[in-house]
Structure 1
Amino acid sequence: MAATISFVREPMFRRVLLAAVVCVVGAARVFGQAVVVKPYVQHGDVGALGATDSKVIAWTVESEPAAEWVAEYRVGDAGEWQRAEIMSTKLLARKSNPPKPKDVTDVVVDPPHDYRWLMQRADIRDVPLGSKVAYRVKQNGNEIGAGMFSARKARDGAIDFIVVGDTAKGTTEQRQIAYAMSQMKPEFIVSTGDIVYDNGRISEFLSKFWPVYVNTDRADAKTGAPLLRDAVFYPCIGNHDIQSSDFGQTPDALGAFYFFYTPLNELKLKGTLVPKGNASRIERFKQTVGGRFPSMLNYSFRNGPAHFLVLDANKYVNINEAALREFVEADLAAAKDAPWKFVVYHQPAFSNAKKHFEEQRLRGLSPLFEKHGVDVVFTGHVHNYQRSRPIRYAPKLDAKGLVQISKEGMISGELTVDKTFDGKTDTTPEGIIHIVTGAGGASLHSKYGVGDTDEAAEEKSKATTKPKKDDTPKISQAAKEEAVEFMDQYIGDRHSFTRVQLTPQRCTITQLDAKLKDLDQIVITK
């Protein structure tokens, strides 16, 4: 049942301001609290797959005036509607700091919170595996949102999902890709990071993410599509999602941790994200999001014949840290019965693009992935599409047995490439396939790969114009040749997303553009 929380009523001018803010992000009022984010489906706290499945339906509303909320669900089209328990968490945050005083005698008045919300979640528990579950949410008897999600499948089931990254930039292409993805009717969507630009703030989610993927009631290439009402979204935390992690400078930082509900764990790392700045704001953030920080940085889940491991690959990560390696080892070892294993992180260990080429730190985990039979690694960060040949990689170790890594993040080692696999006549790869799928909406870059003749011509053309500052480490000829050797497909001239259709014996991976044209396709068989 709904939790009861009391609030002090705001002055009239404050309520008008809040209503204006909500209108900007496309929320609607239905005889009560304004709906800031309409209901959407989330995974919930448990990643392991049992005899039944559970999900979270989440939505966000103004904290006042008080309203009666009901969340209901039923299995299939004809089942009996049942009530789900609703829990509310108060969110208080500001978008910006108060203005600095003109002189030391000025008194700075701490402004009211821009966001005074209730973050609502309804827990739907113990639904049959493989079932279709409808849900609806009502405020004071009026429906404000509804959808139908697919419960997770049993180990022998088939799943159909999308992988995409570098998405919510507020571009026309983002909306086009959102609409195209909705036409595939995915059961769930896995992000490869950089969920929202440029700084991962609550305000950016309001203006660039929710209007495109949830709050819109239309599905077309001009507005996007409400696909997250029906498809679970699995976040991966990229560099832009934590770009502003200083709560002193950015009071509404780390927005992803407020909105998404991923499996929880007890992983404690030294090389991890540490919020900075205003201590009281940090404490309020942690109290609001609970165990989702820092669990959302590294987590795993099962669905059907597949096991998914989502990892943090940002610059503070130490791939030699024992706790991280033990977590990866234990997680993948526990999934030995899964026919397919996928790893997801943001910064690609194997890329053929000049931009971000040096950010290779997760190459150091390759031996662990290979040991436990990982099939595909999905990444983003580079705003294009790339698919490697199946590869094995042995990073160089120092005298203590630790992976050698440069200050920029580059790792050298021994590369083995399977050049016979083509995904058509040969469908059994010897090694891990690495896919960069970072063309989900942000502006494209790295049109050509390093070593490509077109890339060389482009660089020559740039040399005739006014040079720009380039802090990218120089790529050696040997590194270029290695990248050309392991990369099979490279498409940098259009936005796209990855569709995966999976059975216990067969995996079909297709890259599609905004017009649903097949750009690349491979089949992997067991």
Structure 2
Amino acid sequence: MNSPRPAGTLVLTCVLLVLAACRGGGSKAPADPPAAPVILRFEADPNPVEAGSPVTLRAEFTGGKGALDPGLGAIASGQALAFVPLGDTSVVLTVTSPSGQVRSEAVKVQVKPSPDFEDPASFTVPPCLQLGEAPDRPDRLGLMWHAPAYDTGTWAVEVRTTGTWVRMADPASTLVDIPGTQVPAQRAWTAVLKPLEPGGTFDYRVLRDGRRVFQVNGARARMAPGQRQRVVIAGDLVEPGNPASRSIAEGIAAQKPDLMLAVGDLSYPHGTYQEYRAHFYPTYNGGPAPFMRSRLMVGILGNHDVAHVDRGAPPPLGSLAYYYCWDQPLNGPGLLQGGHVANLSPAQAWAPFRQAAGARYPAMGNFWFDSGDARFVVLDSNRYMHRDDPALRHWVETALDGAPAGFWRIVLYHHPGFNQSSFKHTNDWHMAQLWPVLQRHRVDLVVNGHLHAYARTRPFTLAPGGVDEAHILPDLAYDGAATTKAAGPIQIITGAGGGISHKNRFRVPAKGPKPFHQALIADRHSFSVLDLDRDRLRFRQMDGAGAVLDQFTLTR
């Protein structure tokens, strides 16, 4: 039998029961606070990344939705997102919970320059920049390379100006299978690079079957009007076995020009395809100064480029490689008749050459183009050309008069019209016949090669009635320093670019130098440097070590 509880115990029990009921039955306990977002991983791979290549962002997080800035959009946890950075970039991952709580984390993507690259097995002639067929378009250039004819790969070219690679139009090719060259059949490939930023730098790469086989960074586009430019000019360039050829090439590269003009006799002794491949390209598109890969060089015909052919004499088979080793404008006079071309006979033997050269032969011997504030007119001065032909003279006049207002007018051809050499081969005045045309149409400079030396005349005109020394009227007031406005064109001979020296072919007469000559340096190799804008042209003649041998200034 149970004993009754004391009354106080019963009351306490009831109070406890009531308190318990109030706690548990009247309302629920408050919920835990919502979980904040958590970023578990956020990374970029690869990092650093090569310029123009994609980087992949990977993110893992909980507790919300993710977004990437700047401007990359939403990303889910576990998702990978690829993009191409234009430069060093900080990417921020922001995760926002449903209640508005935010977590952020940043990763800095570093962009490193992509290195130049060449797969030598893919080319017999590596890619080099060309003027192409747009003489007045600074927003485009050509590109040329040679590869074995049996190569059936698919070629492509891409250009990068702002960070992403852009595919160019498909390249074209011609067969180069020339008897007598001792070179297996090749294909000469050309492509057009556009649009480019005039005067700006760009990168380009060549792909074969989708794989990069060549790349150059920091190539330079042609200058537009209003942009200051540096132009190097040299002639008589690459002679086998002469170390001066390479030292001048390296000296030219050290001046960091925007454009180089080669005034004839580009590759000795006969301008054949094998000479280009064995000597010219290794000097100017390879070795320590691979200039042509990143800067434009323009080639001009000399007598060695056509194997010394005269009127009526056929050149040896294998010569005239100029016409399939360069891609330059075809805006010349189109003089196919009247002896303006070399005699390519018998026709059957020259058919492979004509196939390789295509429309370039003979049109590419004479052309004009613009760069910066200058109109350059290029002439073939070999003896098969008839300088007294009215059609040729009319074309020269039209090319000069077509220059935009305020442009410098610079005419380039190999054989100088006037010189003081005592050697029969170089004492050749046949181009003097064009001087009245040049002075009448306000030419500023006439630049030649042929003599392996440097020479400069005073500005001069010819009096009516003749084109010989007796009719020369020199501007004796011009000194190129205190007086910089010239009355007549100045003739420059800059043929000391690497051929054997002609220092023994000059003899100053006992009565002194000819009055129209102002400078003569025949004892060393050298090249010309022009810094020009719209109002001023500064000229320097420099040796391979960078020493200034002569200088003058022209102003309007």
TM-score normalized with structure 1 length: 0.77
For 1:295 and 1:381, how far apart are their aligned partners in 2? 22
The answer as to 2:132 corresponding to 1:53 is: no
Give the letter for the 1:162 counterpart: V
Q: 1:247: Cα distance to partner? A: 11
Runs of 5+ unmatched residues, structure 2: 1-117
1:63-78 aligned at under 5 Å gives the runs 63-75=149-161, 78=162
For 1:115 and 1:92, how far apart are their aligned partners in 2? 7
For 2:462 and 2:339, how far apart are their aligned partners in 1? 23
- How many corresponding residue pairs? 431
For 2:407 and 2:334, how far apart are their aligned partners in 1? 29
The answer as to 2:355 corresponding to 1:291 is: no
Q: Which of residues 87, 93, 113 in structure 1 aligns to 2:172?
A: 87
Q: 1:310: Cα distance to partner? A: 0.6
Q: Which of residues 42, 47, 50 in structure 1 aligns to 2:130?
A: 42
- 1:372-424 CA-to-partner distances (Å, cap 9, x unmatched) read 11001000000000011111113635xxxxx7xxxxxxx45511111221111
For 1:336 and 1:82, how far apart are their aligned partners in 2? 32
**Kindly tell me: are residues 58 and 427 of structure 1, through their superposed partners in 2, closer, same or farther at Cα, counting changes over 3 Å?**
same
For 1:439 and 1:128, how far apart are their aligned partners in 2? 34
Which residue number corresponds to residue 442 of structure 1? 499
For 1:302 and 1:364, how far apart are their aligned partners in 2? 25
Which residue number corresponds to residue 273 of structure 2? 202
Which residue number corresponds to residue 231 of structure 2? 161
- 1:154-183 CA-to-partner distances (Å, cap 9, x unmatched) read 221111110000001121000000011110
1:98-247 aligned at under 5 Å gives the runs 114-140=183-209, 141-170=211-240, 171-216=242-287, 219=288, 225-243=289-307
Structure of larger gyration radius? 2
For 1:59 and 1:176, how far apart are their aligned partners in 2? 25
For 1:129 and 1:213, how far apart are their aligned partners in 2? 23
For 2:208 and 2:404, how far apart are their aligned partners in 1? 45
Which residue number corresponds to residue 490 of structure 1? 520
Which residue number corresponds to residue 98 of structure 2? none
SS at match of 1:93: coil
The answer as to 2:497 corresponding to 1:429 is: no
Give the letter for the 2:265 counterpart: D
Q: 1:253: Cα distance to partner? A: 1.4
Q: Which of residues 361, 371, 374 in structure 1 aligns to 2:430?
A: 361
- 1:168-222 CA-to-partner distances (Å, cap 9, x unmatched) read 1121000000011110111111111111111111111111101111132xx2xxx
8 A Cα contact 2:536 2:555, kept in partner: yes
Give the letter for the 2:333 counterpart: L
Q: 1:248: Cα distance to partner? A: 8.1
1:298-337 aligned at under 5 Å gives the runs 298-337=366-405
Q: Which of residues 408, 411, 415 in structure 2 aligns to 1:347?
A: 415
8 A Cα contact 1:348 1:359, kept in partner: yes
For 1:336 and 1:280, how far apart are their aligned partners in 2? 44
1:393-472 aligned at under 5 Å gives the runs 393-394=462-463, 396=465, 411=468, 413-447=470-504, 449-452=506-509
8 A Cα contact 1:37 1:210, kept in partner: yes
**Kindly tell me: are residues 148 and 284 of structure 1, through their superposed partners in 2, closer, same or farther at Cα, counting changes over 3 Å?**
farther
8 A Cα contact 2:119 2:213, kept in partner: no
Which residue number corresponds to residue 552 of structure 2? 522
| Higher RCO (CA-CA < 8 Å; seq separation 6+) | 1
Which residue number corresponds to residue 406 of structure 1? none
Which residue number corresponds to residue 324 of structure 2? 258
Q: 1:34: Cα distance to partner? A: 4.0
The answer as to 2:441 corresponding to 1:384 is: no
Give the letter for the 1:240 counterpart: H
For 2:474 and 2:315, how far apart are their aligned partners in 1? 46
CA RMSD across the alignment: 2.2
Which residue number corresponds to residue 51 of structure 2? none
- 1:24-51 CA-to-partner distances (Å, cap 9, x unmatched) read xxxx866xx64111110001012124xx
The answer as to 2:333 corresponding to 1:267 is: yes
Q: 1:452: Cα distance to partner? A: 4.2
For 1:207 and 1:329, how far apart are their aligned partners in 2? 39
Give the letter for the 1:436 counterpart: I
Q: 1:72: Cα distance to partner? A: 1.0
For 2:313 and 2:358, how far apart are their aligned partners in 1? 17
The answer as to 2:529 corresponding to 1:499 is: yes
Q: 1:353: Cα distance to partner? A: 1.5
Give the letter for the 2:397 counterpart: E
- 1:78-131 CA-to-partner distances (Å, cap 9, x unmatched) read 4311112211222112335xxxxxxxxxxxxxxxx7321111112112323222
8 A Cα contact 1:244 1:250, kept in partner: no
8 A Cα contact 2:178 2:185, kept in partner: yes
SS at match of 2:251: helix
Runs of 5+ unmatched residues, structure 1: 1-27, 97-112, 220-224, 398-402, 404-410, 454-479
SS at match of 1:136: strand
SS at match of 1:381: coil
Q: 1:340: Cα distance to partner? A: 0.5
Q: 1:338: Cα distance to partner? A: 4.1
Q: 1:249: Cα distance to partner? A: 7.2
8 A Cα contact 2:342 2:384, kept in partner: no
For 2:119 and 2:166, how far apart are their aligned partners in 1? 25
Give the letter for the 2:375 counterpart: H
